[in-house]
Amino acid sequence: MRGGLQVPDYLGSKSTFTLGQFGGHAGRALRAGDVLHIPALADASAGASLPVELCPALPAVRELRVIYGPHGAPEYFTEGYIETFFATDWEVHFNSSRTGVRLIGPKPEWVRESGGEAGLHPSNIHDNPYAIGAVDFTGDMPVILGPDGPSLGGFVCPVTIIEADLWQLGQLKAGDKMRFVPVDIATARALAKALDEECTTLRGSNACGSGLAPTTAVALISPIILDLGQADTRLVARLSGDTHLLLEIGQPELDLVLRFRGHALMQALEAKHLDGVIDLTPGIRSLQVHYQPETLPLQRLLDTVSGLWDAVCSAQDLKVPSRIVHLPLSWDDPACQLAIEKYMTTVRKDAPWCPSNLEFIRRINDLPNLDEVYRTVFEASYLVMGLGDVYLGAPVATPLDPRHRLVTTKYNPARTWTAENSVGIGGAYMCVYGMEGPGGYQFVGRTLQMWNRYRAVEAFGGQPWLLRFFDQIRFYPVSADELLKIRRDFPLGRYPLKIEETELRLSDYQAFLDREAEGIAAFRQQQRAAFDAERQRWIESGQAHFESEEVTLELGEDAPLGAGEHGIESHIAGNLWQVQVEPGATVAAGDVLVILESMKMEIPLTAPVGGVVKEVRVQPGSPVRAGQRVVVIEEA
């Protein structure tokens, strides 16, 4: 494979992003019959092999080295749980992939009762940027965010895997055991340098950059390395791995002033043209700097940020361009209903937001009926605060009028599947899912595409993502059938969008809040009471803390098969999503018998021969281990 494959570049890469359906060979996994072209061979040397130290055996319990932070104890977790976190041999969950590696282990101990405005669960925070390799607590389940994971989200991350150990994520599979080992920045960068040298020279290094040699854990220190100002002018810098710095602004609350200041700080850093800055990603009240430490040392970066912050805070009457983008919305769309059904079958059947997310939104906001939920969503003007929340230009937005902010909690644990461009609410935020994948926001409906994969469409303005920071989204209702036609026509340029150009001035917005202060305060008081009442119902019903139903199946040996009988076994651990047959049914060779859900995929098990189904040993929602017999067929 020397020289790579001859495939088109997409966003500067030849990689395939299968969830996004672009890159590589036709944006999908390879199939039998595909033809791949390689460049002419320039170097015909043969017979070389890697030195033995670069071919290590994978240990029974893998060690992944991490930097503590950005979110730890005692702000979010108890000190005792952080000790438990590092002492645990975590098991890789079967629902893992390049998006994220879910982990099975001890339930977290939180120091907060809830995330407040950000969501009902204590893991919820106002959406902030993520680093690849961050361990993200989506509710009570930790997930290592992989290279196909989201760039923005609303959950706390106590540790981040160092750059030199990210390669190990690709080696983890369901059932593997692993342990986190905290190291300091100096150790992390020495390991990164050693790994780079190994990859360049194909020779082992004394620094063991390959990542499998034991490393001495360091004592934990606070991930906060800079703390400036007070109240709404406060700036806190947190370590997020050895190549990312997370800057948090003001108090942990939804305040448009904080978002404006984050935007101004981002613009000021961009104007500096600092060598070593790879990218800047804003959140609701945060800004993440992805940087190369050998080119831009951490202390120099901190000094630069500190020098810019006073000027940002002293700026008066901030203003930004803003477009009003009108989008169709299919209310309570069938694709959303399917995702809820799948969640109840394979993840959590007793969740308080099931079977109707809309009823849950009504209840937790103390609205009189579902028509009021409908009216509120369609009257709101949603301000785009961030992009990339759950992938591909997906907006995280909040209504400009606080009385339109329907506060909810997020799924715990998260869904494993969400239809592309589903629209949901989590905390006080609305999100349009950029693509098919996992998710946790409460569904209200579905809209058109946020990402344009190939064809040039005028609404996108020459870029693949539709929306921009500080756009205002306004929904108008369409039927499910109408939306299917819109979704077919829009990527082809046959469905024009209504987009109005305007400007958003912070002073005008603050004047609006002052005029409507009394009504806004009354609305928030009623909403807070409903929020607290819902949480109390959870406590009384035992739903406040979800206990995972992960079990180790202890099944006896399968009975011997009789003459003409064929046993169909699962070749992977997972959950049963659907059973397509019942005892006594006649099937043909190749017919689908059951569908597993594992590694974020639906995997069918088919009949190897034609015959009659003699036995079905599983039911929808039941866990299945690798090698377990699920169906018996008697050959015709």
- Nearest partner of 351 among 339, 334, 366, judged by Cα: 339
Q: Which residue has the tokens 């050895």?
A: 242
Q: Which residue has the higher pLDDT, 81 or 535?
A: 81
Domain 565-635 matching CATH 2.40.50.100: the answer reads: yes
Q: What is the pLDDT of residue 555?
A: 44
CA distance 147 to 167: 10
Reply yes or no on whether the pLDDT at 541 is more than 70. Answer: yes
CATH 2.40.100.10 at 64-315, yes or no: yes
What is each CA distance from 625 to 393, 556, 590, 597, 629, in whole angstroms?
A: 37, 13, 22, 12, 9
Q: If pLDDT is split at 50, 70 and 90, which confidence band does 620 have? A: confident
**DSSP summary character for residue 552:** -
With beta carbons less than 8 A apart as the criterion, state whether 425 and 459 touch. no
| CATH 2.40.50.100 location in the chain | 565-635
Please report, for residues 86, 87, 111, 294, 512, the alpha-carbon distance to residue 182 in angstroms, rounded to integers and kept in the order given. 8, 11, 22, 21, 48
What span, in angstroms and rounded, lies between the C-alpha atoms of 256 and 400?
A: 9
For the sheet containing 565-569, what is the strand order? 565-569, 629-635, 611-616, 586-587
Tell me: pLDDT of 550 over 60: no
pTM of the model: 0.79
The encoded tokens of residue 595 equal 């569908």
55-69, 284-298, 369-383: which range is least confident on average? 55-69
Interhelix angle 370-379/357-364, rounded to 10 degrees, is: 90
Query: 484 and 421 in contact (C-beta within 8 Å)?
Result: no
Residue bearing tokens 């609404």 = 459
Residues of the chain with CATH 2.40.100.10: 64-315, 320-541
Distance, in Å, from the CA atom of 290 to the CA atom of 294, rounded to the nearest integer, reads 13
- Please report the DSSP string for 455-479 in residue order: S--GGGTTSSB---TT-EEEEEEE-
CA–CA dist 131, 159 (Å, integer): 10
Per-residue confidence (pLDDT) for residue 601, from 0 to 100: 62
Q: Which of 305, 224, 228, 220 shows the shortest CA–CA distance to 270?
A: 305
- Following DSSP, what letter does each residue of 236-283 receive, concatenated? EEEE-SSSEEEEEESSSS--HHHHHHHHHHHHHHHHHT-TTEEEEEE-
Is residue 117 classed exposed, middle or buried when 0-12, 13-18 and 19+ CB atoms within 10 A define those classes? buried
- pLDDT of 557 reads 55
pLDDT in tens, 201-259: 888 776 565 556 667 888 899 999 999 999 889 999 999 999 999 999 999 888 888 99
What is the torsional sign of CA 355, 360, 363, 368?
Answer: negative
Residue 504's SS3 state is strand
Per-residue model confidence as pLDDT tens digits over 450-462:
998 877 888 998 8
8 Å CB contact between 335 and 495: no
* Mutual angle of helices 517-541 and 506-515, in 10-degree steps: 80
Q: What is the Cα–Cα distance from 296 to 243, expressed in whole angstroms?
A: 10
Average pLDDT estimate for 19-41: 88
Label residue 554 by pLDDT band (50, 70, 90).
very low
Average pLDDT over residues 177-194: 94
Q: Strands, DSSP E only, in 33-140?
A: 61-68, 90-92, 100-104, 124-129, 135-138
Residue 404 has pLDDT above 60, yes or no: yes
pLDDT at 549: 47
Helix (H) or strand (E) run with residue 187 in it = helix 185-201
Distance (Å, whole) CA 324 – CA 353: 31
**Maximum C-alpha span of the chain:** 85
Segment 51-102, tens digit of pLDDT: 888 887 888 999 999 999 999 999 999 999 999 999 999 999 887 888 899 9
pLDDT band at 108 (very low <50, low <70, confident <90, very high): very high
DSSP 492: G
Superfamily of domain 320-541 in CATH is Cyclophilin-like (2.40.100.10)
* Rounded Cα–Cα distance for residues 93 and 574 (Å): 9
Q: What is the pLDDT of residues 119-155, one digit of tens each?
A: 778 898 988 999 999 999 988 889 999 988 888 888 9
pLDDT at 207: 59
Q: Alpha carbon of 56 to those of 53, 59, 495, 497, 630: distances in Å?
A: 6, 9, 55, 55, 37
First to last CA, the chain: 47
Please give the pLDDT value at position 533.
84
Q: What average pLDDT does the chain have?
A: 88
